[in-house]
Amino acid sequence: MSITVKPRTGWRTLPRNVWAASLTSFLTDISSEMVINLIPLFLANVLGEKTVIVGLIEGIAETTASLLKIFSGWLSDRLGQRKWLAVTGYGLSTIARPFLYFAASWPLVLLVRFADRVGKGVRTAPRDALVADSVGEDQWGLAFGLHRAADTGGAFLGLFIAALVIWATQAGQVTLARETFQVVVLLSVIPAALGVLALALAARDVPITGTQAQVPRLSLRGFDRRFKIFLVIVVLFTLGNSADAFLILRAQNLGVSALGIMGLLLTFTLIYTLVSGPAGALSDRIGRRRLIVGGWLLYGLVYLGFALANAGWQVWLAYGLYGVYYGLAEGTAKALVADVVTPVQRGTAYGVYNAAVGLTAFPASFIAGVLWQGLGPWTGLGASAPFLFGAALALLAALLMAFWLPRLR
């Protein structure tokens, strides 16, 4: 009688590339979350700029990152190398961030944010493809779940450190002081530099199976039909997924204090971190589609909660469930991309996927702003309108995901 031994698929079996990419994301997010969340306050409180300047800077920065993700992913497929493109992207962001220490006007802030987002655009798709290249299909969910958990764990720690610095240097002050911002900028350089070193020293490129003739052009030609359908559904969902700034405004609208909003962000990030890893591993066993559909349905309920909430504690509850949604769906969606493209297409596929999400986020936020103002048929709904819209699109996307996307395996 022969005995079949099932291969081990736990955390300990993940290769060092996955751990290196996860450690780098953990350290980088400590650095970026310390600073990025304070930039709007720095522009408004220290430099005295209007909100239109804040929107201009963030719009240019995020659009740049979204467009570059397509090219960098394609280039990693063409070169057959992921690691050094990712290292270059992380390095560029690390070099740019310290210049915020000297910022005395908004153009320098724009230049730093532009360089930082160029770095993000260069690194994201090759890094995601490197993670997918490094494990078999039975561990893609686990690998991306670990990476998401590390990323959000770093974000939590970065937010916590920034809050500590603010408390220690200007307790009781309402506005952000230049000196406090400069301290945070200097501290942020340390984890960012360590993150670059972790990826440069610990990761290794993985030989990509396939031929150069299979490398796609910078278009959707040559991709599996399932990938194209998934992109359409994701874009539809993202149209209702406006910037989280609207969630913060809604919380403030319901009486949550500034300190309470920091607590909301920390709660969301902690839950996101704790759910991501187990959810990714679960997707390897029960399939990606079920977890994504479940996550999107939960998102719809969360946004419905934001629309109907009339007290601060209800916002706290909604924010906690929002973290569960992110943990279920974000890493799982990236694992699904690996399911439906060939190895030699992965860099381009992740570039297209990330760019589609990033570029759609802008009209999503614009639509949310228009709805909040109560224009058109939404007159009278006020702050509830964008959340009702988001809930409706999430339900539609979940139905399309369940019934339109062809079987994955």
117-141 burial: b if 16+ Cβ within 10 Å, else e: bbbbbbbbbbbbbbbbbbbeeebbb
Structure tokens at 402: 């369940």
Burial classification of residue 3, based on how many CB atoms lie within 10 Å of its CB (0-12 exposed, 13-18 middle, 19 or more buried): exposed
Alpha carbons 340 and 359: distance in angstroms, whole number: 22
Q: State mean pLDDT over 242-266.
A: 76
Q: State mean pLDDT over 293-311.
A: 93
How much is the CA Rg of the chain, to the nearest whole Å?
21
CA–CA distances in Å: residue 170 to residues 161, 164, 178, 186, 408: 14, 10, 11, 17, 54
Query: In the structure, what pLDDT confidence band is assigned to residue 196 with cuts at 50, 70 and 90?
Result: very high
Alpha carbons 195 and 119: distance in angstroms, whole number: 13
Would you say residue 20 has pLDDT above 90?
yes
Query: In the structure, what pLDDT confidence band is assigned to residue 59 with cuts at 50, 70 and 90?
Result: low
Going by C-alpha positions, the residue among 221, 225, 205 that lies closest to residue 77 is 205
Q: State mean pLDDT over 57-66.
A: 74
Would you say residue 199 has pLDDT above 80?
yes
**What is the number of residues in the chain?**
409
Highest mean pLDDT (candidates 76-85, 196-205, 282-291, 356-365): 196-205
Mean pLDDT over each residue of the chain, to the nearest integer: 84
CA–CA distances in Å: residue 186 to residues 105, 140, 161, 179, 275: 18, 36, 12, 11, 31
Q: State mean pLDDT over 187-209.
A: 91
Going by C-alpha positions, the residue among 16, 300, 261 that lies closest to residue 130 is 16
Residue 105, CB-side half-sphere exposure with 13 Å CA sphere = 1
Q: 10 or 326: which carries more pLDDT confidence?
A: 326
pLDDT of residue 210: 56
Answer CATH for 16-205 from 1.20.1250.20, 3.40.50.12160, 1.10.3720.10, 3.10.20.30: 1.20.1250.20
For the domain made up of 223-409, the CATH class stated in words is mainly alpha
pLDDT of residue 329: 92
Would you say residue 298 has pLDDT above 50?
yes
Would you say residue 284 has pLDDT above 70?
yes
Would you say residue 378 has pLDDT above 70?
no
Structure tokens at 202: 């610990």
CA–CA distances in Å: residue 75 to residues 68, 69, 123, 224, 349: 10, 10, 11, 20, 11
pLDDT of residue 5: 37
Would you say residue 87 has pLDDT above 90?
yes
Residues of the chain with CATH 1.20.1250.20: 16-205, 223-409
pLDDT of residue 6: 43
Contact between 216 and 70 under an 8 Å Cβ cutoff? The reply is no
Cα dihedral 55→193→359→249 (10° resolution): -40
pLDDT of residue 78: 83
Query: In the structure, what pLDDT confidence band is assigned to residue 3 with cuts at 50, 70 and 90?
Result: very low
Q: State mean pLDDT over 249-261.
A: 75
Going by C-alpha positions, the residue among 32, 117, 116 that lies closest to residue 68 is 117
Would you say residue 299 has pLDDT above 90?
yes
Percent over 70 (pLDDT), the chain: 88
Q: State mean pLDDT over 344-351.
A: 84
pLDDT of residue 79: 84
Alpha carbons 268 and 147: distance in angstroms, whole number: 17
No. of helices (H) and no. of strands (E), the chain: 14, 0
Contact between 96 and 119 under an 8 Å Cβ cutoff? The reply is yes
Alpha carbons 137 and 153: distance in angstroms, whole number: 25
Alpha carbons 400 and 16: distance in angstroms, whole number: 37
pLDDT of residue 7: 47
Which of the residue ranges 48-52, 103-107, 114-118, 287-291 would you say has the lowest mean pLDDT? 48-52
Contact between 338 and 348 under an 8 Å Cβ cutoff? The reply is no
Alpha carbons 204 and 75: distance in angstroms, whole number: 17
DSSP-derived secondary structure letter, 405: S
Would you say residue 91 has pLDDT above 90?
yes
Which of the residue ranges 63-72, 80-89, 147-156, 187-196 would you say has the lowest mean pLDDT? 63-72
Going by C-alpha positions, the residue among 203, 183, 243, 218 that lies closest to residue 90 is 203
- The model's pLDDT over 142-178, given as tens digits with 9 standing for 90+, comes to 898 899 889 989 988 998 898 888 888 876 665 678 8
pLDDT of residue 1: 39
pLDDT of residue 259: 63
Alpha carbons 248 and 178: distance in angstroms, whole number: 23
Q: State mean pLDDT over 380-384.
A: 73
Going by C-alpha positions, the residue among 357, 282, 293 that lies closest to residue 325 is 293
Query: In the structure, what pLDDT confidence band is assigned to residue 213 with cuts at 50, 70 and 90?
Result: very low
**SS3 category, 251:** helix
Cα separation of the two ends of the chain: 31
Q: Is 175 left (phi over 0), alpha (psi -120 to 50) or beta?
A: beta
